Amino acid sequence: MNNELLHHLEQRINEAVDEISSLRTRISELEMQNYELSEEKNDMQTSLNQTKEQQSNWESSLSQMLNRLNEMDNK
C-alpha cells in the first residue's frame, strides 16, 4: 500500500512538472506575441502621428492659400 501511494504521488508530481513546463512554454509564447503586438502598435502609432502631421501641414498650406486668395480678391 505504501508503494502504491508513493507511486501515485510520483505520478502526480510528474504530471505537475509537465503542466508547469507546458505553462512556461505558453507564457513564453504569450510574451513573444505581446512583444510583437507592442512593436506593431508602436509602428502604427508612428504612422498615425506622421499622417496627422501631414494632414496638419496640408490644412495649414490650404489655409495660407485661401488667405492669399482672399487678400487678392480684396485688392
Q: What confidence score (pLDDT) does residue 73 get?
A: 86
Predicted TM-score (pTM) of the model is 0.67
Element (H, E) at 51: helix 2-74
Residue 71 pLDDT class (50, 70, 90 cuts): confident
- What pLDDT, in 10s, does the model give residues 7-47? 999 999 999 999 999 999 999 999 999 999 999 999 999 99
Rg (CA), the chain: 32
pLDDT at 75 over 80: no
Mean pLDDT for the stretch of residues 51-71:
95
Q: How far apart are CA 10 and CA 18, in angstroms?
A: 12
Domain housing 43: 1-75
State the DSSP string of 59-75: HHHHHHHHHHHHHHHH-
Domain count, the chain: 1
| CA–CA separation, 30 and 11 (whole Å) | 28
